Amino acid sequence: MADDTPLLVTREGPVVRATMNRPERRNAISEAMGTAWDALLAELAQDRSARVLVISGAGGHFCAGLDLTEVASEETPERTLARQQARNRRIGGRFADISALPQVVIAAVEGSCHAGGLGFCCAADIAFAAATARFAAPEVRRGLVPAQILPWLARRAGRTAATRLVLEAAVIDAAEAGRIGLVHGVLPDAAALEAQVQKTIAAVLDGAPGALAETKGLLAALGPVSPEGYAEAGAAAFARTASSPEAAEGIAAFRAKRKPAWAS
């Protein structure tokens, strides 16, 4: 079963591929997937023989974001608040860890790239999409906030584009994602996407590994992705909304495929 291996990790020489593997949930991020990501990132941070990490999703989708079935809870509001704050803090740290890897990170996006999926896409160094890809930051429509993805969206596409994405919460197609800079290129289909990934891998491997890692360090030194204290403030904001009546209604409406009460 996919949930037994929520993150498929394969390696060919210096190239590591991490495939989010919950296709029945459009690769939504579960606790188990998050734990697998954290283990992989800790390993890669120390592995100088790995030079490229390719992030993708199984079943024609990249990642639909956080698994909302794990946000909805029968716990007390206090317990939900604490659990969601800790989880959101880890999510933010995960994106930072991806960006800080010494390896060059390439995102290959097909299908849904929503919410936390956008975080993976924008934390990667280079991102490409197939024409089938669709991008969205739908959190406010669920009674939640895009706490940890917002700095990465703003860094990749600029604050103006990020503002519209997170406030309208509408789905945009791959062409629009390319236009605003969410991805570096849009390819006509999955085969062309893989060909572009292979071309980029070959280009990266022509660079000296130490020089590439140092260059990534210089890029990071240009400035942090968010101000000091933002990650903790974002985690607190997510936790507050996740434990609110709005989130309960928003998630229930999403699961029932209806509009939430505030949109009626």
Query: Closest Cα partner for 18 from 48, 46, 44?
Result: 44
Q: In this structure, what token pair is assigned to residue 114?
A: 């929503």
Q: What is the pLDDT of residues 65-102, one digit of tens each?
A: 999 888 766 666 677 788 888 889 999 999 999 999 99
Residue 31's domain is classified under what CATH number? 3.90.226.10
Residue 215 lies in a domain: no
Predicted local confidence at residue 73, as pLDDT: 61
Sole residue written with tokens 């960006």: 99
Q: What is the mean pLDDT of the chain?
A: 94
Instruction: Note down the domain range covering 171.
Output: 2-191+205-209
Residue 44 lies in a domain: yes
**Mean pLDDT score, 221-234:** 94
Q: What is the pLDDT of residues 16-71, one digit of tens each?
A: 999 999 999 999 999 999 999 999 999 999 999 999 999 999 999 999 999 988 87
**Mean pLDDT score, 129-155:** 97
Residue 97 lies in a domain: yes
Establish how many alpha carbons lie within 13 A of residue 242's alpha carbon, considering only the half-sphere containing its beta carbon: 30
Asked if residue 104 lies in contact with residue 204, where contact means CB atoms within 8 angstroms, the answer is yes
Residue-by-residue DSSP string for 71-117: TS-SS-HHHHHHHHHHHHHHHHHHHHHHHH-SSEEEEEE-SEEETHH
**Residue 99 φ then ψ, to 5°:** -65, -35
Residue 252 lies in a domain: no
Residue 230 lies in a domain: no
Residue 137 lies in a domain: yes
Cα–Cα distance, 258 to 173 (Å, whole number):
22
Predicted local confidence at residue 1, as pLDDT: 44
Residue 253 lies in a domain: no
Domain count, the chain: 1
Residue 77 lies in a domain: yes
DSSP β-ladder status, 134-136 and 172-173: antiparallel
Q: What is the pLDDT of residues 201-218, one digit of tens each?
A: 999 999 999 999 999 999
Kindly report the pTM of this predicted structure. Answer: 0.94
Distance of CA 119 to the CA centre of its chain: 3
Predicted local confidence at residue 136, as pLDDT: 98
